[in-house]
Every structure is written in C-alpha cells, then in structure tokens.
Structure 1
Amino acid sequence: MKTDRGREDDAREGDGRNDPPAGRVRRVKDAPRNQEWLLTLLPAFPLVLLVMRLWYASRQDTQTLLLLVQTISPLGLLSAVLLTTVWVLPALVLGGRLLGTLHWLSTGRSSWLVRAAERLPGWVVVLSVVVGLCTWQLRFLPTLAMMSLAVAGLTVRDRYPGHEGLRAVVCYALPVAVAVLSYVLLWPAVVAAFTARDVATAILLTLPPGLGVLLTGPVPGASAGVLTHGIAIGMSVITPFLVGVVVMKAPILPLIALQIEEREAQEVVVGYLVASDDQMSTVLGREGAVRFISNDRIRSRVLCPDPGEVPRTWVNLHGWYVEQSVLSWLAPTAQPEPVDQRCQGRAVDDPVSG
C-alpha cells in the first residue's frame, strides 16, 4: 500500500487528466484540523461592537451605559451593526480568494492564505459579488468588478490549466471588454469628478477597470509571498478598526427635538430619545447628559434628520450619486423637506406637535 508521500509523487508525475494536481493534494494534506474553536469567536466581535457603541454613546459614563443597556433593544443594535458591516463581507471573501489563489499560482506552495481560499466555496464567492453589487456605493463598483474578474481569471488558470481558449476569454477578452464598457458608462461621472476636483472619486472610477486586465495572471514568485501575505495581514488588521469606526458613528437612537416650557420661556432640547411613557420622556443629549422631561411640559416634538447623511460630494451618474448604493438609489425615498428650526435648537412661535 502506498503512503501519502507516494500518492503525492504519483500525482506530481501524472498527465493531469485523471490524477489530481500535486498542489491540490498538498493543500488538502496540509490543511489544519481541530480549529472549530474559531467558530466560537464569531459572535464575540459583534457583541464587542455593540458594547463599545453604547459606551461611546454614553460618553464613558457607567450609569448612562446601564440606562442604555436597560432601555435599548438588542435587536435594534444588532440590526444597526449588520447594516453597517454588510459591505465588509464581500471585500473579505473576494480579497481572501484572490490573494490565496494568486499566491498558489505564483509560488506553487501552500500557506494559511491558500488554505483559506480553498475553503471558500464558489457559491459563497458568487453570493459575495451579488451582495457587493447591491450594497456598495457607485464609486466602489469598479473595484468590485476588478476583484471579481481577477478571481474568475485566477480560478480558471488554477482549475483548467489545459484550456487555452477558456483562459483567453476569461483572463484577457472579458476584462478588456468590461474595462471599455465601464469607461463608456462612467464617463459622465469621471468628468464630473475631475471638474469638482474630487481626486479620490476620480481614482476609484478610472483606475480599477484598467487594473482588472493585469490581475488575472501570476506575479513573480520571489515577491508573491510578501505581496499577498502583506496585503492579507494589512486587511486583517485594518478591517476591524474600520468597521469599529463606522459602527461607532452609526445611529442607534432616533434624534428628536422637544420644545418645552421653562418658566414662561421656551426651551428646545435636541437629543436622542431613549424611552417615553405616559408621564416621562428620557432624552440623551448630544453632549452625553441624560434628561428626564415630564410630558406635561412638552409643547411639541419633531423627528430630526441624521447629520451623518449629508453627502460629501455631489458627483453623480444621471442622478445616481457616487455615495449611493444600488439599493438606496432604486428604493423609494421621501421628498426632502427644510430642516425644522427646532432641530437647530431654536424655538418656534406656533409649534405643531409631531
């Protein structure tokens, strides 16, 4: 009976038609085992984000933190975290598959990055592309197309090394066609970005389609290990901090303005509504102070817009702004209304209860 080493040598000497490639055997053989404990860490990261978000909202005050934990629904917090971080998953899946396959084709050696790429099923990669297409902003869609084409080209090179026609179509013809089509469709937005001197948006719209043609093949083996593992480690380190910063700024409570009577004077309290019942309304001010206001003193209340929704650039493609995703562009939106004076801290003479 042949040992594993002997079977690996036979696979290396085969003609490639019936026997599995040597790399495929080596990658399966080198795969680590008994790492199911890593799955227990998956719920920990969202939980830490939820606690840190409440700690940030309470301005590091323990009593305010306990009040928020008691009154805020965990489902609402989890929804805010999921909606904020859903755009990260396609980047991690496509990036891991791209870097792992690129390392294997360039060096022929296995590593933790190659094993991670092998454990990503094809349907997960396709689903990640669909999620990214729906949730990523317009200015990031060329990057999504670049990564998707690179993954497709490298996968064809890895799994079908003898199909020259298929490799020519997927690795060369398709990226060129997508690049030309992208420049034609995005040309109005590219011109608007350069006109508005929005350098970041202009680079995101012009650079990825051209790079997609260059990322469907291996790189020199001497630099492949440092390049792929360096990018992967950088993504692993930066992504949690980036997600944390975004979640820290995500709204978890409705922003309202209450106009109240204060000794024959009118005062407007702008803050986040923590709780409200028949007698009292609890409001968390922007500075972190909690106020308990009797409902008898409230003359009116109004829901204020989220300050974080103000666009940073007005570059658009036929009304589709570069900071909008496909879902937000296609979904019906309310007509914009003038900002109420009470949301700016100014009282009105004849308030209408909202």
Structure 2
Amino acid sequence: MKRARRVKATPKNQEWLLTLLPVFPLVLLVVRLWYASRQDTQTLLLLLQSISPLGLLSVALLTALWVLPALVLGGKVLGTLYWISARRSSWLVRAAERLPGWVVILAVAVGLFSWQLRFLPTLAMLALAAAGLTVRDRFPHREELRIAFCYALPAMAAILSYVALWPAIAAAVAAHDVATALLLTLPPGAAVLLTGPVPEVPARMLTHGIAVAIAVFAPFLVGVVVMRAPILPLTALQVSENGSPRVLVGYLVASDDQMFTVLGRDGGVSFVENGTLQSRVLCPDPGAVPRTSVNLHGWYVEQNVASWLAPTRPVQPVDPRCQGRSVKDPGAAPG
C-alpha cells in the first residue's frame, strides 16, 4: 500500500467542528467563575461584570501551551507506530499523516519552553520516538538511517540525559519523591523501545487504547488546571472596625472612590469602605508554592525553561497580613 492511499479524502460538511474550537475554552471559563462563586448566581453575575475576558482567555491560552505539544506528539507517535506495526489504516493513522513535520517541530519547541523540568525527559522521549518512527516509515530500505535514528541517537540521548540529570535524580531519591524520580529516569531509557514495531495483534489495542485514553482524560486534566488557575489578584486588606484592626484576605474584584469589593476564599463577597482601610498588600499565589525541593543546579523541577531563564525578584518573607494577622505598623511590614 502506498503512502498516498493511507490518507483518505477529508469528509465533507464538517464545518460545524470549527465552532467547537471557541466553545470549549468559553465553557471552561464559565465553569471556573461558577466554581469561584461557590455556585451562587449573584456572585457569578458580579464576577462576570467585573472580570476582564482577556484575563480569562489568557488562562486558557497558557494551559494550551503545554497541552497541545502532548496531543501533537502523542498522536504522531501512536499513529505512526500502529502503521509500522500493522500496515493498516485507521483514524489514528490518518490523523498522524495529516500532521506536517513543521507542526511536530513547533510542538517540540513549545514544549521545551513551557513544560516543567521533570517533564522534559518525556518530551525528549516523544520527540526521539517521532523522529525514529518517521525515518523507519519513509526510508524502509536505508539501514544506516534506521540504525542512526532508531538506536544510536536514542541511546546517546539517554546516556547524556542520565549524566546531566543525575544530581536531580539523586536528590529526588533522597527526598523520597517517587514521582519525580520516575519522570527523570524512565523516559530516556524507554525512547529506544518506541522506535520499532510492536507485534501486530496487540498493536491496535495498545496504540488506539492509549489514544482514546488521552482524548478522554485530556479535557478533564485541562479543566482541573483551569479550575485552579488564579483569575483575580489575591489581596490582604487591613481594616479598622470600631477601633480594632481586622485583616480580610481575598480576591480583589473591583475598587472605586467609595469602597473595595473583595471575594473571600470561602466564596463570600465583602464590601470595604475606603475610610476603614488601613493598609493593602498583594499576596503570593498559593499555587506557586513549590511542592518539592528537588532541583538541578538551582533549576527546580517544577519550573519550566521560560521561568528559569526569566529574571525573578528576591524571595521575601510572607507578609503576616496574607496569613490573616494584623500588624501594628502597616508601613513597616514586608511586602
């Protein structure tokens, strides 16, 4: 069977699929606001009135930066692997064939800058597997190319990865961080196993089963990330009520010349008059607190290349007002 026969004609009258592209992010954004309002309709209307749509769309865009490379590389590897193993066409094979080479390269570049350090070995594994399978498919009679891209290159990349990542691997093992240790050690060695055919009988179940699982769980994973993404600045307001100070920690919804509108972390809305405000401080995002101390020469495993290379502010102690405690001299407090 020739390569041209693998890609069937594009089905007609499927323009309605294009309407789903903006629908899914919009649904996620509305659900995010519904979750932040604790299912209260009036609070939801207040958030819709005050929040900028551009800020909400930026959350979906940042999420897509690390989801799209996984979908592109996963589809390319699984579709090509099934074709090499079974020599039969399917929807997965046709999807992989419709992915141009420049799209795959662009997905690798985007993943390189947007994925965290602990996921970069997985990115390298998928990229090497896609390159090896493509060479095996397009140049079946070039033995030297197959040896170079399917065996030598993944083996050399695995050796270099283990040498470069060994300090982080040792730190993860010492910290009993099993997930990070597995993410840093398994993918480099598994790259060699993904560049060759698998037995024809389990090929369809293996490749299509993984593809269906990715298609089913990817929207849920994106939804979880969007649900936890901040949509408003987290602020601590110290107010004076009847001569006694009180700290209100929440998300700033709106402010004018009369009062501040704050959405508490419990979903309640508070209106603070400007005359009672003593101080105001911007608090760090709770989701930005690292969960592990494993790092590679100062590059923590939960950081991506962009955040590691970008200039950062010196780490400062957390303001006590962000922890709900009032201070006597607001001007002298850190933050």
How would you bin the TM-score normalised by the shorter chain? over 0.9
Task: Return the alpha-carbon distance in structure 1 between the equivalents of residues 16 and 285 of structure 2.
Answer: 40
Task: Return the alpha-carbon distance in structure 2 between the equivalents of residues 87 and 302 of structure 1.
Answer: 32
Q: Give 1:85 deviation, angstroms.
A: 3.1
Task: Return the alpha-carbon distance in structure 2 between the equivalents of residues 27 and 33 of structure 1.
Answer: 18
Question: What is the SS of the residue equivalent to 2:331?
Answer: coil
Q: For residue 185 of structure 1, what is the amino acid of its counterpart?
A: A
Task: Return the alpha-carbon distance in structure 2 between the equivalents of residues 95 and 87 of structure 1.
Answer: 13
Aligned to 1:327: 306
Q: Give 1:300 deviation, angstroms.
A: 0.6
Indicate whether 1:296 and 2:284 are aligned: no
Aligned to 1:113: 92
For normalisation by structure 1, the TM-score amounts to: 0.92
Structure 2: gaps of 5 or more residues: none
Indicate whether 1:340 and 2:319 are aligned: yes
Aligned to 1:280: 259
Cα shift readout 1:13-66 (whole Å, capped 9, x = no counterpart):
xxxxxxxxx242322336534433212111111011100110010000000000
Task: Return the alpha-carbon distance in structure 1 between the equivalents of residues 203 and 285 of structure 2.
Answer: 45
Cα RMSD (Å): 1.2
Aligned to 1:93: 72
Question: What is the SS of the residue equivalent to 2:7?
Answer: helix
Question: Which of 42, 47, 52 is the equivalent residue of 1:73?
Answer: 52
Alpha-carbon contact 2:85-2:197 (below 8 Å) kept = yes
Task: Return the alpha-carbon distance in structure 2 between the equivalents of residues 194 and 306 of structure 1.
Answer: 28
Alpha-carbon contact 1:101-1:114 (below 8 Å) kept = yes
Indicate whether 1:216 and 2:195 are aligned: yes
Cα shift readout 1:186-232 (whole Å, capped 9, x = no counterpart):
11111111111111111111111100011101111100000000000
Alpha-carbon contact 1:256-1:304 (below 8 Å) kept = yes
Specify whether residues 29 and 246 from structure 1 end up closer, same or farther in structure 2 by C-alpha distance, changes over 3 A only.
closer
Cα shift readout 1:140-183 (whole Å, capped 9, x = no counterpart):
11100000000001111111112111111111110011001001
Indicate whether 1:245 and 2:224 are aligned: yes
Cα shift readout 1:255-291 (whole Å, capped 9, x = no counterpart):
0011111011111111000001111110001110111
Aligned to 1:158: 137
Aligned to 2:11: 32
Q: For residue 153 of structure 2, what is the amino acid of its counterpart?
A: L
Q: For residue 43 of structure 2, what is the amino acid of its counterpart?
A: T
Task: Return the alpha-carbon distance in structure 2 between the equivalents of residues 332 and 285 of structure 1.
Answer: 31
Aligned to 1:13: none
Alpha-carbon contact 1:23-1:108 (below 8 Å) kept = no
Q: For residue 119 of structure 2, what is the amino acid of its counterpart?
A: F
**Mapping of residues 4-15 of structure 1, within 5 Å:** none
Q: For residue 144 of structure 1, what is the amino acid of its counterpart?
A: L
Query: How many equivalent residue pairs?
Result: 333
Aligned to 1:63: 42
The structure with more radius of gyration: 1
Moved >3 Å (runs of 4+): 29-34
Question: Which of 3, 23, 42 is the equivalent residue of 1:44?
Answer: 23
Task: Return the alpha-carbon distance in structure 2 between the equivalents of residues 283 and 131 of structure 1.
Answer: 36
Task: Return the alpha-carbon distance in structure 2 between the equivalents of residues 40 and 121 of structure 1.
Answer: 23
Aligned to 2:211: 232
Structure 1: gaps of 5 or more residues: 1-21
Alpha-carbon contact 1:56-1:248 (below 8 Å) kept = yes
Q: For residue 174 of structure 1, what is the amino acid of its counterpart?
A: L
Question: Which of 166, 169, 174 is the equivalent residue of 2:153?
Answer: 174
Aligned to 2:178: 199
Cα shift readout 1:74-114 (whole Å, capped 9, x = no counterpart):
00011122113311110000000010111111111111111
Indicate whether 1:125 and 2:112 are aligned: no
For normalisation by structure 2, the TM-score amounts to: 0.97
Identity across matched positions, percent:
72
Alpha-carbon contact 2:238-2:277 (below 8 Å) kept = yes
Question: What is the SS of the residue equivalent to 1:282?
Answer: strand
